[in-house]
A and B are shown apart, each in its own frame.
Chain A
Amino acid sequence: MGKELDRNIGIPKGAVMDFITKWGTLLTIAVLFIAFSVTMPTFFSAPNIITIVRAVCIVTIIAIGMTISLTVSGMDLSVGSTATFANTVVMTFFVWFQLGSTPWGMALSIVMTIIICLAVALINSLLIVKLKIPDMLATLSTMFMFEGVAMTYAGGGAINENMRRPDGSTALGKVPQLFRTIGREPWIIVVMLVLVLLVFVFLTYTKHGRYMYAVGGNPEAAKLSGINVKKYRTLAYVMSTILASIGGMMIGARVGNAQINSGSSYLMGAVAAAHIGMSVAGIGRPNALGTLAGAILIGVLENGLIMASVPYYAVNIFKGAVLAIALALNYARKK
């Protein structure tokens, strides 16, 4: 039917729309980039570009986890709290338990943090797969739960070097320099790119990734083809949690401590990036590269607006508007 309408108008209105819906996100990034560069000479400078990319890194890592949960047509709202939890746990390993003094201790801390954070995935999949609670609601409850767990574990405050423990003593542990290095460029960017690439390859080229898309697209058809739907939904939440906890540790690596609710501010950015990413190149389904583009769009916008002296409290107006437009590109043409 679309074709007939196009014929009536003469020029292919559909083709223009197609182009915009496919490349709108990248186009917007380019337009913003050029506009900011022209109006503000300092915008297009090496230090500022690195600032943007660095800001994008953590949100991207968390957002690709979100992306995996979206492939099974779920939605992991607990990623922000998981990041907070991971940030808190890894910092206590270093500061409270002094595990950061050797490289092996640091590696152990990181691995243990991920394992402990898998509790979130465990509860998520229990609620979603076993108890059949809708994804968003289940992860909303774990979001609250682990925000509380992280805060309770930390004793209601931040985790810093030389902090005073509840028993009155001073914590003697240090955050290892190696760990802090990972949080700086270029390593934070390398970690992010490697993770994006891994998830991209996983979703596009392994059978497990394809099963996830099949499960998300039509669970009934997937089941009848012999795909274990429950297993793959669980796996999606496990991967989402792992990526969120890596993101949370990267927060710690960047700032060297664990603030209260340090991860929660990344949740909405991650939701936005993953959804904007769906429309990139007209793919119409969650994908890692699109999510990276979505995160960059938000990063460029945020950085440019702040440099243009838009007050920080007004930036969210533009962020929200861009998200709305990006979602419209993805959903408006669906029937």
Chain B
Amino acid sequence: MENTAKTTLTMRNISIAFPGVKALTDVDFELKSGEIRALIGANGAGKSTLMKVLSGVNTHYDGQIHLDGLPVEIRSPKAAKELGIEIVYQEVDVALVPHLTVAENIMLNHLANNMGRTQIVDWHMVRKSAREALGRLHMNIDVRKRVSDLSLAEKQMVLIARAVLEKCKFLILDEPTAPLSNTETQVFFDVVRHLAHDENVGVVFISHRLAELFEICEHITIMKDGMVVKDMQITPELTIGQIVEYMLGRKFDETYPKTIVPIGEVVLEVQDLTERENRVQEVNMTVRHGEIVALAGLVGAGKTELCKLLFGAYRRQSGVTTLGGKMFHPKNPTQAVAAGLALVPEERRKEGVLVGDPVYANVTVSSLPKFLNKLHFVSKRLQRKATRSQITALGIKTPSENQLVANLSGGNQQKVVVGKWLLSDAEVYIFDEPTKGVDVGAKRDIFELIDGLVSQGKGVIYASCDYQEILAIADRAYIMYDGRIVKEVAIPETDEKELLYYSTGGK
């Protein structure tokens, strides 16, 4: 290609703070054109924050950025674009207009900014340029197709094509492969390699799937707690195990005294369960009375999908499930609840609580038939009474049962969701990331609550990507990767390293 000159983008002593948190501390980062660099770190290590500095979203950084030795300022997304820095976020739909064609979506920036006084859109030119941009990626997508009809992988390609059109010199890919299948990932890698090696683009590749880094990246930067802990070449000698060690750093423990409960008979048994769109495949698992079974896995591993499948919110393709010895194939969540299953969903505000309603309405909503008066009207008095006892039992911090849930903190909202299911007498409780966005104190309360459930002989499924939590609270863990359970481990015999090893695709 025409531009074979090496350009180097250097970040020196980059620090950034958000109210109350220091997100980045003196980070050094370097990217050369034509190289593919992995950026790795646990959730909250600061990867995205750092990349948002580069793409002009986090504008209040301290430190210096140089392009080929010349100092530059990136204080707006526009400034980043002018330097040739483009970012493709994981949530591709944010940047696409679904009911317009591929051609228009690729050319959107051009149509919006470079038309000047021209009023009429030259469709021939738009399609041709879009086709050329896709051609540079060796992609064959019909540019007349509507974006809403594309697969996720194709949507990413549309965004990358848009970036390529902008004379992009540095391309940041934020977890691009998380939603892709294996074949799609291979195609994607070919495109990325082509961009780096033939078109001289510098690529930052953020991923949680460590195994794939060896395939595609030449360099790796590992972050932890807002700092860069290691920066090195990827060599054949490097192992996933070593990377995991750098990611975790020193072991710090935050143990939780788990109550020892006698474990009883199998209550939920799953055989070869596959979801209709293959988001979950061939899952085998059992849950016993009094047992906390963890689903360990990174974001996108299929934990949420499995929870929803068990709960009847996703459709089953094949496989057999039994609950309490009886066949159990819920077609919808209503049937699942009737059979004795409860789900505390991950997207609490969206799926778990009625934020505009008071606490008592939320706590009693799944079990309203219990609160009827003689005339079979819902009795607010009974609802409030039951709610008051739940507030005390769960330690929900609220002035009264009449408070709107919207005004409670995240942790207390979570307790309200749990309280709702406690009243409905389920046999098996599924918790999907129950501690997400919850402070340490509330986290402990939620643990106590789950402990309380198993003490009553209930079965619990605990899905989380926080392995310290899993080690603290669970009895057994199934590790998920790519929609499948890849390993079953007993908690006393495992450690964080093993969990992380299998959940990043180690074999």
Contact = CB atoms under 8 A, between A and B. Distances in A.
Given A205-B120, A210-B104, A217 B112 contact: no
Contact of A218 (B97, B115, B119, B123): B97
A225 B108 CA distance: 6
Interface in B245-299: 276-277
B97 A205 contact: no
B99 A284 contact: yes
Contact of A206 (B95, B100, B119, B276): B119
Contacts of A227: 112
Given A214-B108, A221-B108, A227-B112, A208 B100 contact: no
B112 A211 contact: yes
Contacts of B108: 214, 221-222, 225
Contacts of B276: 1
Interface string B95-133: 111111000100011011101001111010000000000
B352 interface: no
Contacts of A206: 119-121
A132 B413 CA distance: 29
A198 to B, nearest CB: 13
Interface residues of A, number: 21
Contacts of A208: 119
A207 B97 contact: no
A220 interface: yes
Interface string A146-179: 0000000000000000000000000000000000
Q: Is the interface of A mostly helix, strand, loop or mixed?
A: helix
Nearest to B77: A224
Interface in B110-163: 111-113, 115, 118-121, 123, 146, 148
Interface in B83-105: 93-100, 104
Given A205-B120, A207-B118, A226 B113 contact: yes
A226 B121 contact: no
Counting chain A CB atoms within 10 Å of each CB, the highest count among B96, B111, B115 belongs to B111
Contacts of A217: 97-100
Contact of A221 (B77, B95, B277): B95
A233 interface: no
B99 A225 contact: no
A285 interface: yes
Contact of B99 (A205, A213, A224, A226): A213
B375 to A, nearest CB: 37
A207 B95 contact: no
A218 B99 CA distance: 9
Nearest to B115: A207
A207 B100 contact: no
Given A1-B276, A224-B77, A207 B98 contact: no
A284 B146 contact: yes
A207 B119 contact: yes
A22 to B, nearest CB: 13
B184 to A, nearest CB: 15
Interface in B3-39: none
A83 B94 CA distance: 38
Contact of B121 (A207, A220, A224, A284): A207
Interface in A206-246: 206-208, 210-211, 213-214, 216-218, 220-222, 224-227
Given A1-B277, A206-B120, A221 B113 contact: no
Interface in A259-315: 284-285
B121 A210 contact: yes
Contacts of B96: 218, 221
Given A207-B115, A210-B104, A221 B120 contact: no
Q: How large is the interface on B (under 10, 10 to 19, 20 to 34, 35 or more residues)?
A: 20 to 34
A13 B112 CA distance: 40
A226 B146 contact: no
Contacts of A207: 111, 115, 118-121
Given A205-B123, A221-B108, A225-B108, A214 B100 contact: yes
Nearest to B119: A206
Contacts of B109: 225-226
Contacts of B111: 207, 210-211, 225
A213 B147 CA distance: 13
Contact of A226 (B112, B118, B123, B148): B112
A229 B310 CA distance: 43
Interface in A179-208: 205-208
A221 B96 CA distance: 6
A213 B148 CA distance: 14
Nearest to A282: B146
B117 to A, nearest CB: 10
Contacts of A213: 97, 99-100
A226 B121 CA distance: 17
Contacts of B97: 213-214, 217-218, 221-222
Interface string B70-83: 00000001000000
Most chain B beta-carbon neighbours within 10 Å: one of A208, A213, A225? A225
A71 to B, nearest CB: 10
A220 B99 contact: no
Nearest to B126: A210
B100 A224 contact: no
A72 to B, nearest CB: 12
A223 to B, nearest CB: 10
Nearest to B147: A217
B112 A285 contact: no
Contacts of B148: 284
Contacts of B123: 205
A217 B112 CA distance: 15
A210 B99 CA distance: 11
A206 B121 CA distance: 5
Contacts of B112: 211, 214, 222, 225-227
A207 B116 CA distance: 10
A221 B99 contact: no
A208 B117 CA distance: 12
Contacts of A226: 109, 112-113
A217 B101 CA distance: 11
Interface in A12-49: none
B150 to A, nearest CB: 13
Contacts of B104: 210, 214
A217 B277 CA distance: 26
Nearest to B104: A210
B111 to A, nearest CB: 6
Contacts of A205: 120-121, 123
Q: Which 10 interchain pairs have the tightest Cβ spacing?
A: A217-B97, A226-B112, A225-B112, A218-B97, A225-B108, A227-B112, A226-B113, A285-B99, A214-B97, A217-B99
Interface of B: 77, 93-100, 104, 108-109, 111-113, 115, 118-121, 123, 146, 148, 276-277
Given A210-B121, A220-B94, A225-B112, 8 more contacts: A207-B121, A210-B111, A213-B100, A218-B96, A221-B97, A224-B95, A284-B146, A285-B99
5 contacts: A205-B120, A210-B100, A220-B95, A221-B94, A284-B148
